[in-house]
C-alpha cells in the first residue's frame, strides 16, 4: 500500500473479550478432562460388571445341572415308590385270596381239604406242616413287600426334598444372574451416555478454541496494521520533508544571479508498497485428552482345536452353545445363535470324545492343572477377577505361539487372539 493510502483498519478485540474467550476455553477443557475421567471409570465399571455377570452365569449353569440331577433322582425314586406300592397291592390281594379260600374250605390254610384223605397219621401231620409253611410264605412276602414299599416311600420323600432344595438354589442363582445382568446393562448405559456427553463437550471445546484463536488472530492483525500505518506515516513525513528541502534549495539557487548552476538532478523516490498485514499464525487445536498336567494327548488336542477353529466368526452368545454345538443364549443374547466361552470349549472337547463341565469355573476345578511355562496346544486358559482361581469368568483354548481361540464377549465373534496377562488365573489340560 502506498504511503498515505487509506484502508479499513481491522477491529482490535479488547483485552476483556480475549480474557473471556480464554476463560471459556479453559472451562471447556476442564469439562472435557472431567468427562474423560468419568468415562474411563465407567468403562472400568463395565469390565467389572461383565466379569461379575460371567461368574453369575457360571453359578447359574452349575445350579441348573444340579437341579437336573436332582430331578432325575426324584423321578427314579418316585417310580420306585409307585412300583413298590403296586407290588404291595398284589401281595395284599394274594394274601386276601389265600385267607378267603382257607375260610371257605373251613381251614386257616388253602387246600386244607387235602388233610381229610390222608392215609395215615404221619401223612396227616406232613400235609398240615406243608400248609402251615404255605401260609407263612404268604405272610413273609407281604411283610417284605411292605418294608420295600416303606423304604421306597422314604426315598421318594428324600428325593423330593433334595429336588426342592435344588430348585431353591437354582432360583437364587437365577436372581443373582438377573441382578448381575441388570448391573451390566446399567453400567453399559452409563458409559454410553458419558461417551455421548464427551462428544458434545469435545465439540464445545473446539468451538471455544476457535473463538479464542479468532480473537487472538484479530488482535495480531490489528497490531500489525497499526505498526504498518505508523511506518507509512513516518515514510510520508520524511518524503514531505525531503521535498520541502529540495524546493527550498531550488528557490535559493534561482535567486543567485548570473551564476549558472548545474541543476540538481531531480530525485524520485520509488513508491514502496506497504507490506500486507502478516496473516495470523494458525494455532493447532489441542485434542481432547484420551480416556484415561501329564503330557497332552496330541490327537485329542488337535481335534478340539480344529473343532473350535471351524466356528471362527460365529457370534458370541451369552449362555449359548454346549457339547452339541452352537445355540441361542440368554439375555442380552436371547436372539443370538452361537457360543459363549465355556460353551465353545465344551463343544470342542466333546468332538474329541472328552466330556468336560459346561461352565468355566467348573472346568477349571475339574481338570488337571498345568503351569503357564508348560502350556501346550489344546490346554484351556482361564482368567479370574484379580487373577483369582475361585472367581473364574473366562476360558479359551491355547493353540500355540502365545495365542488362543476364544468366544470373547457379547457383540464379538469366535476368533484367535493373543494371550493377555491381566487377570490370568491359570491353565488346565482336558487331554491329560
Tens-digit pLDDT profile for residues 378-397:
999 999 999 999 999 999 99
pLDDT tens, residue by residue, 238-267: 888 988 888 888 888 887 765 554 444 444
- Per-residue pLDDT, 127: 52
Residues 390 and 227: their CA atoms lie apart, in Å, by 76
Distance from C-alpha of 147 to C-alpha of 165, rounded to nearest angstrom: 27
pLDDT value of residue 142: 63
> What is the predicted pLDDT for the residue at 293?
67
Three cell numbers, residue 306: 480344529
Greater pLDDT, 70 or 101 = 70
Query: Residue 328: its pLDDT value, please?
Result: 94
- What's the pLDDT score for residue 305? 98
Give residue 168's pLDDT: 87
> Which residues partner with 339 through β-bridges?
316
Percent of the chain exceeding pLDDT 70 equals 79
Q: What is the pLDDT of residues 41-92, one digit of tens each?
A: 887 888 888 788 888 888 888 888 888 888 888 889 888 888 878 887 787 6
- The residue among 96 and 405 whose pLDDT is bigger is 405
Q: Report DSSP state, residue 118.
A: -
Q: DSSP readout, 11-72?
A: P---HHHHHHHHHHHHHHHHHHHHHHHHHHHHHHHHHHHHHHHHHHHHHHHHHHHHHHHHHH
pLDDT tops 90 at residue 315: yes
What does residue 312 show for φ and ψ, rounded to 5 degrees? -55, 135
Q: What is the pLDDT of residues 214-242, one digit of tens each?
A: 887 888 777 887 888 888 888 889 888 98
- Over the Cα atoms of the chain, what is R_g? 49
Domain positions in the chain are 16-208, 298-428
pLDDT of the residue at 311: 98
- Position with higher pLDDT, 275 vs 424: 424
Contact criterion met (CB below 8 Å) for 332 and 354 = no
**Under CATH, which architecture does the 298-428 domain have?**
Alpha-Beta Complex (3.90)
pLDDT at 185 exceeding the cut of 50: yes
Whether the predicted pLDDT of 29 surpasses 80: yes
Residue in this structure with the C-alpha cell 520509488, named with its chain if needed: 270
Given a cut of 90, whether residue 326 has pLDDT beyond it is: yes
pLDDT tops 50 at residue 347: yes
Residue 339 has pLDDT above 90, yes or no: yes
Identify the CA nearest to 396 among candidates 373, 374, 425, 371.
425
Fold of the domain built from segment(s) 16-208: Helix Hairpins (1.10.287)
For the cut 70, the answer to whether the pLDDT of residue 128 exceeds it is no
Q: Compute the distance between CA of residue 122 and CA of residue 130 in angstroms, rounded to an integer.
A: 13
Strand partners, 369: 428
> Is the whole model's pTM more than 0.85, yes or no?
no
Mean pLDDT computed over every residue of the chain: 80
Amino acid at each position: 500500500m502506498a504511503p498515505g493510502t487509506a484502508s479499513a483498519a481491522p477491529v482490535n478485540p479488547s483485552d476483556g473479550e480475549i480474557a473471556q474467550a480464554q476463560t471459556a476455553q479453559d472451562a471447556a477443557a476442564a469439562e472435557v478432562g472431567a468427562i474423560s475421567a468419568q468415562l474411563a471409570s465407567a468403562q472400568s465399571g463395565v469390565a467389572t460388571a461383565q466379569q461379575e455377570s460371567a461368574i453369575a452365569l457360571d453359578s447359574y449353569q452349575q445350579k441348573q445341572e444340579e437341579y437336573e440331577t436332582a430331578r432325575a433322582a426324584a423321578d427314579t425314586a418316585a417310580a420306585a415308590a409307585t412300583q413298590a406300592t403296586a407290588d404291595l397291592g398284589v401281595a395284599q390281594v394274594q394274601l386276601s385270596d389265600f385267607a378267603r379260600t382257607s375260610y371257605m374250605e373251613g381251614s386257616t390254610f388253602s387246600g386244607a381239604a387235602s388233610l381229610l384223605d390222608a392215609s395215615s397219621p404221619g401223612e396227616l401231620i406232613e400235609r398240615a406242616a406243608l400248609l402251615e409253611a404255605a401260609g407263612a410264605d404268604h405272610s413273609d412276602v407281604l411283610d417284605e413287600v411292605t418294608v420295600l414299599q416303606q423304604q421306597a416311600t422314604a426315598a421318594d420323600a428324600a428325593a423330593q426334598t433334595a429336588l426342592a432344595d435344588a430348585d431353591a438354589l437354582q432360583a437364587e442363582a437365577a436372581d443373582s444372574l438377573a441382578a448381575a445382568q441388570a448391573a451390566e446393562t446399567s453400567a453399559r448405559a452409563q458409559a454410553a451416555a458419558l461417551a455421548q456427553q464427551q462428544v458434545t463437550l469435545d465439540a464445545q471445546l473446539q468451538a471455544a478454541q476457535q473463538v479464542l484463536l479468532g480473537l487472538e488472530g484479530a488482535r495480531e492483525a490489528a497490531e500489525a496494521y497499526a505498526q504498518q500505518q505508523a511506518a507509512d506515516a513516518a515514510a510520508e513525513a520524511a518524503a514531505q520533508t525531503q521535498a520541502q528541502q529540495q524546493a527550498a534549495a531550488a528557490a535559493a539557487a534561482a535567486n543567485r544571479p548570473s551564476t549558472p548552476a548545474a541543476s540538481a538532478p531531480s530525485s524520485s523516490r520509488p513508491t514502496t508498497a506497504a507490506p500486507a498485514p502478516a496473516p495470523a499464525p494458525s494455532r493447532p487445536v489441542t485434542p481432547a485428552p484420551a480416556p484415561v498336567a501329564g503330557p497332552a494327548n496330541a490327537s485329542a488336542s488337535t481335534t478340539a482345536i480344529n473343532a473350535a477353529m471351524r466356528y471362527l466368526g460365529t457370534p458370541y452368545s451369552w449362555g449359548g452353545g454346549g457339547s452339541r454345538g452352537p445355540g441361542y443364549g440368554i439375555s442380552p443374547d436371547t436372539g443370538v445363535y452361537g457360543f459363549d466361552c465355556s460353551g465353545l470349549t465344551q463343544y470342542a472337547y466333546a468332538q474329541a470324545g472328552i466330556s468336560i463341565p459346561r461352565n468355566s469355573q467348573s472346568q477349571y476345578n475339574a481338570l488337571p492343572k498345568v503351569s503357564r511355562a508348560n502350556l501346550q496346544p489344546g490346554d484351556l486358559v482361564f482368567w479370574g477377577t484379580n487373577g483369582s482361581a475361585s472367581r473364574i469368568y473366562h476360558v479359551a483354548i491355547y493353540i500355540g505361539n502365545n495365542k488362543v481361540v476364544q468366544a470373547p464377549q457379547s457383540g464379538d465373534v469366535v476368533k484367535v487372539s493373543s494371550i493377555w496377562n491381566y487377570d490370568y488365573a491359570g491353565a488346565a489340560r482336558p487331554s491329560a
